[in-house]
Structure 1
Amino acid sequence: MQDSEAFGLKLPNRGLAFGDGFFETLIFTENRLRLAADHCQRMQQAAAALYLKLPEPLATPEALESTLAELAAANNLPAARLRLQLWRASGGRYTPLTESAEWLATAESFVADDSPISKVDFALKTHSIYSPLSFCKGPQAWLYVRTAHERQQRGLDEIILCDAAGYVAEAGAAAIFWMKEEVLFTPSLASGCVAGVRRAQVLRAAQAQGIACREGLYSAQDLLAADAAFTANVAAVREVQQIGNVVYKRLSNCLSDLRAC
């Protein structure tokens, strides 16, 4: 463990130079790492896609939880939002010389926010882009920076990304779900959305309750025609009250069950 002021980054750094790596956002609360197995699986997939080898302290759900629990404890954080950044060790230009990865984990205080989202609209300046790496976090982070800037400039509480063909992909930093005639819908990964760990958990929870689930390519009109909608990421599941001028029904009882993890 190092104090942030004493931390120095070895250069050259392939993460800075080429974006040769990925990151993961995790929540530690109630003495456990939320969805540790899902996080580890996505990290393993991301590492494989980038031809990287996960370091031993992060390579299994048990090791990952132990490593990050130690970080939370060292920072006296009973509830922590954690960021795990991985990048390839130095050497080479576009062609890498190693599959070894270096990593950095940071922690900050976490306070849950499950409050409803009232002012939502579709992004006008940026669209999602499908790629072999769009399922993980990092390679296309600039998309979300642009989208967050637009959300801020337009005074929105949340913003919805579509792909270039107009199919709904995700919210600015969360998966998007909606209910229509008692069926749960969410965009497929083909839209360019992140394969969120909470997205997977919501689908599992819905299926366990006997709710029919559909993943696919859906237009903005499909979302606007829904009965109800909500967003989901590792930090929270939040009800969407309105997109543009469309007002949705309440989903309180259903959301209570889907928030369990």
Structure 2
Amino acid sequence: MYVYVNGEILPKEQATVSVFDHGFMYGLGLFETFRMYNGKPFLLAEHLDRLSHSAEEVGISYSFSLHEVQKVLDELMMANGLRDAYVRWNVSAGAGGLGLQSGVYTTPTLIVYMKPLPTMPSSKRAHILSLRRNTPEGEKRWKSHHFMNNALAKQELFHDPQAEGIFLTKDGYLAEGIVSNLFWVKEGTVYTPSLSTGILNGVTRKFVIRLLEEQGTPVVEGLFTRTELNAADEVFVTNSIQEVVPITAVHHTMYQMSTVSDGLRQAYRKAVHEL
């Protein structure tokens, strides 16, 4: 694997950052994960827009044009011999002193990882996690280096590593998956937890909601409990790498794989083809 680090493309063994990088020391880092389809990044502008706004709120001075991003991606694809790929675009605060600082970080560390796509599941099982979703570090959740809550949740699934874990909030409301956003269908209406639960406003989440609205499917965002999920006709999760994944069961509750998730997958693939 070759990795991009601050203007250089390096073998992974040579890719390093400073031990004083505040992304390592204090978790002051942000990232976007997206997918390359035949050399083209999908929903790239949306990912970079979220990253830019998050960096501004965290206090990291960062800017990169779409043209510059595509140039980096082209170079990494050539180095790694890939056209379809998993990409993590990572911006950390950069090296600082020992101790927190209140000013803006003006020399961030940019790292871009690229690897072959993993095997894509046609469906998944899910489990309600006993570990509750932590609250966002700020007013809203960023896609940041603060991943301890997710890592501990993944350990909870050691008995079923291919399953997705579903977080509840501290108040018992449905939140999101460990690496996904959650949706379910009841009598033709699609439901998904509100951003007020503290979930990540996923780029794919927003895109899927837009696809549903274009199809004329009602979408309701709100505060929901396991009772609503148990009564659902079908359940699915979304993320930028796996797209739309039907959930066949949550614990012992089984769900059908019906027309809504199938239609979404077809619409998603059509959008990718148009790219």
TM > 0.5: yes
How far does residue 121 in structure 1 lie from its aligned partner after superposition?
A: 1.4
Give the distance between the partners of 2:119 and 2:162, measured in 1 at CA.
20
The corresponding residue for 2:4 is none
How far does residue 99 in structure 1 lie from its aligned partner after superposition?
A: 2.8
Picking from 217, 222, 229, the partner of 2:228 is 222
How far does residue 127 in structure 1 lie from its aligned partner after superposition?
A: 2.5
Say what the alpha-carbon RMSD is for the aligned residues.
1.9
Give the distance between the partners of 2:113 and 2:79, measured in 1 at CA.
11
The corresponding residue for 2:238 is 232
The corresponding residue for 1:14 is 22
Is the 1:121–1:160 Cα contact (8 Å) retained in structure 2? yes
Identity fraction in percent: 23
SS across alignment from 2:13 = coil
Is the 1:186–1:215 Cα contact (8 Å) retained in structure 2? yes
Is the 1:125–1:147 Cα contact (8 Å) retained in structure 2? yes
Give the stretch that moved more between structures: 59-68 or 232-241: 59-68
The corresponding residue for 2:11 is 3
Give the distance between the partners of 1:193 and 1:2, measured in 2 at CA.
35
Is the 2:165–2:177 Cα contact (8 Å) retained in structure 1? yes
* Residue correspondence of structure 1 range 201-212 to structure 2 within 5 A: 201-212=207-218
1:255 aligns with 2:264: yes
* Residue correspondence of structure 1 range 53-92 to structure 2 within 5 A: 53-55=61-63, 59-92=64-97
The corresponding residue for 1:33 is 41
Is the 2:136–2:142 Cα contact (8 Å) retained in structure 1? no
Give the stretch that moved more between structures: 126-135 or 87-96: 126-135
Give the distance between the partners of 1:250 and 1:238, measured in 2 at CA.
10
* Residue correspondence of structure 1 range 150-169 to structure 2 within 5 A: 150-153=156-159, 157-169=163-175
The corresponding residue for 1:122 is 128
CA pair 122-90 structure 1, distance change in 2 beyond 3 A: same
SS across alignment from 2:182 = strand
Is the 1:147–1:172 Cα contact (8 Å) retained in structure 2? yes
Picking from 165, 182, 186, the partner of 2:192 is 186
Give the distance between the partners of 2:194 and 2:134, measured in 1 at CA.
12
Picking from 168, 176, 180, the partner of 1:170 is 176
Give the distance between the partners of 1:149 and 1:134, measured in 2 at CA.
25
> TM-score w.r.t. structure 2 length?
0.86
How far does residue 256 in structure 1 lie from its aligned partner after superposition?
A: 2.7
SS across alignment from 2:265 = helix
Give the stretch that moved more between structures: 245-254 or 166-175: 245-254
The corresponding residue for 2:59 is 51
SS across alignment from 1:2 = strand
> TM-score w.r.t. structure 1 length?
0.90
Give the distance between the partners of 1:161 and 1:124, measured in 2 at CA.
8
SS across alignment from 1:173 = coil
The corresponding residue for 2:114 is 107
Give the distance between the partners of 2:137 and 2:127, measured in 1 at CA.
25
Give the distance between the partners of 2:154 and 2:221, measured in 1 at CA.
25
Is the 1:131–1:192 Cα contact (8 Å) retained in structure 2? no
Give the distance between the partners of 1:4 and 1:75, measured in 2 at CA.
11
CA pair 156-89 structure 1, distance change in 2 beyond 3 A: closer
- Structure 2 residue runs of 5 or longer lacking an equivalent are 1-8
- Structure 1 residue runs of 5 or longer lacking an equivalent are none
Give the distance between the partners of 1:65 and 1:133, measured in 2 at CA.
31
